[in-house]
Amino acid sequence: MKIQIENLDKIYKNGKHALSDINLEIGSGMFGLLGPNGAGKSSLMRILVTLMKPSSGTANINGFDLMNDRGDIRKILGYLPQDFRFFTKLKTWEFLDYAAGLSGITNKTLRSQKVDEWLDNVGLFDVRERSANKLSGGMKRRLGIAQALIGDPKIIIVDEPTTGLDPEERIRFRNILSELSQKDVIIILSTHIVGDISSMCNNLALLDKGKLEFTGAPEELIKKTKGHVWQVTTSGIEYEMLKDKYAIISTIPSEEGWEVQLVGDKLDVKNAIEIEPNLEHAYVYFMEYLTSQNSF
Ligand code: ADP
């Protein structure tokens, strides 16, 4: 499985330059697309799932061309948009049965098996007779996950995966995706939450203001941050000074004042100790200090 994106650009009708010269190769496994709100993640997702055309550039999705083979691409895709909503009187199982039909499962017995299997996978079996639009927010999100995955897609694209899920549901969702990623599929997760990426993705891309700022393994990004993360115990006055000079990651009250973790380019604070960076530190360091500062 491979997705090859070349020189992709998107300029909206209002002149907004949402994606600028994106070049990216994505192989099998779980891939994280990380960036703040407005970075261009949804625009890129919508282009890849053929809901929107790029202004220029190309993408090849497992041998299919983004512009010429849209039908073929749709057959191997499962997509869970950020604002998955449905207006239906169908019962939960009927909705899933309908989605399975759309994904090309025509055999009724097989479809019924698949529906039961996925109702169980996402924990909705007990509410299968309930009208889909009467489900709670988290349950609707889970139904969204099931409808995206029921057709055994080769490429799975999930926009802001954990929005609206409680902690237990997040774990369940992560487990479903982890299991799927053992197969020869590509899973792209787009998120602004670092925690969604760190535990699951073997590769990631960082997007900011429509530009690709980094692509590679999370460990590579973390390595670049080594020597730029510190911990310091400080009083209130000093804290204000630190806030101006550094990106503060966390502040925990301690007996002597505050225990602060900070990220910066150069250290200019006494008694600070260097600490091992994690992906959250790396993300903040990149966004604050390394991304190209020019906006569109
Ligand atoms: P993200 O998913 O990372 O939050 P988006 O792709 O939604 O980013 O948006 C990227 C930029 O494009 C933002 O500045 C957003 O306001 C703008 N944008 C998104 N959709 C449209 C649209 N349909 N028309 C004009 N501008 C848009």
- pLDDT tens for residues 187-211? 999 998 888 887 778 899 999 999 9
Best CA proximity match to 32, nearest among 164, 195, 175: 195
Q: Indicate whether 295 belongs to any domain.
A: no
Whole-number pLDDT of residue 167: 86
Q: How far apart are the first and last CA of the chain?
A: 34
The answer to whether 82 and 43 are in contact (CB under 8 A) is no
Q: Whose CA is nearest to atom 17 of ligand 1?
A: 18
Is the Cα dihedral 113, 119, 120, 122 positive or negative? positive
Whole-number pLDDT of residue 66: 95
* Ligand 1 atom closest to 46 (CA): 6
Instruction: Specify whether 83 is located in the same domain as 162.
Output: yes
Tokens representing 51 are 């809901």
Q: Indicate whether 204 belongs to any domain.
A: yes
What is the distance between the alpha carbons of residues 61 and 70, in angstroms, rounded to a whole number?
10
Domain limit, last residue, from 184, 200, 216: 216
* Ligand 1 atom closest to 159 (CA): 2
Q: What is the pairing mode between strands 77-80 and 2-11?
A: unpaired
Counting the structural domains of the chain, the total is 2
Whole-number pLDDT of residue 295: 37
* Ligand 1 atom closest to 44 (CA): 6
Q: Per the confidence metrics, is the pTM higher than 0.85?
A: yes
Instruction: Specify whether 253 is located in the same domain as 132.
Output: no
Quote the ligand 1 centre to 249 CA distance (angstroms): 27
Whole-number pLDDT of residue 81: 86
Whole-number pLDDT of residue 292: 57
Ligand 1 contacts (CB < 6 A) are 12, 14, 16, 18, 35, 37-43
> Can you give the residue range of the structural domain that contains 41?
2-216
Instruction: Specify whether 8 is located in the same domain as 119.
Output: yes
Quote the ligand 1 centre to 263 CA distance (angstroms): 29
Ranges of residues in the chain with a pLDDT under 50 are 294-296
Quote the ligand 1 centre to 17 CA distance (angstroms): 9
Runs of H (alpha helix) within the chain: 41-48, 70-75, 92-102, 108-121, 137-149, 167-181, 194-198, 218-225, 236-245, 279-285
Whole-number pLDDT of residue 294: 37
Quote the ligand 1 centre to 38 CA distance (angstroms): 6
What is the distance between the alpha carbons of residues 278 and 250, in angstroms, rounded to a whole number?
13
Domain limit, last residue, from 196, 216, 236: 216
Quote the ligand 1 centre to 273 CA distance (angstroms): 40
Q: Whose CA is nearest to atom 15 of ligand 1?
A: 38
Sheet strand arrangement including 186-191? 77-80, 155-159, 186-191, 29-34, 203-208, 211-216
Quick one: DSSP state of residue 85?
-
Sheet strand arrangement including 273-274? 247-254, 257-263, 229-234, 273-274
Phi–psi pair at 9, nearest 5 degrees: -130, 140
Instruction: Specify whether 256 is located in the same domain as 280.
Output: yes
Instruction: Specify whether 38 is located in the same domain as 111.
Output: yes
Q: Indicate whether 125 belongs to any domain.
A: yes
Is the Cα dihedral 185, 191, 195, 197 positive or negative? positive
From residue 37, give the alpha-carbon distance in Å to each of 25, 40, 69, 114. Answer: 23, 8, 30, 35
Reading phi first (left if > 0) and then psi (alpha if -120 to 50, else beta), residue 158 is in beta
Query: Helix and strand tally (H, E) in the chain?
Result: 10, 14
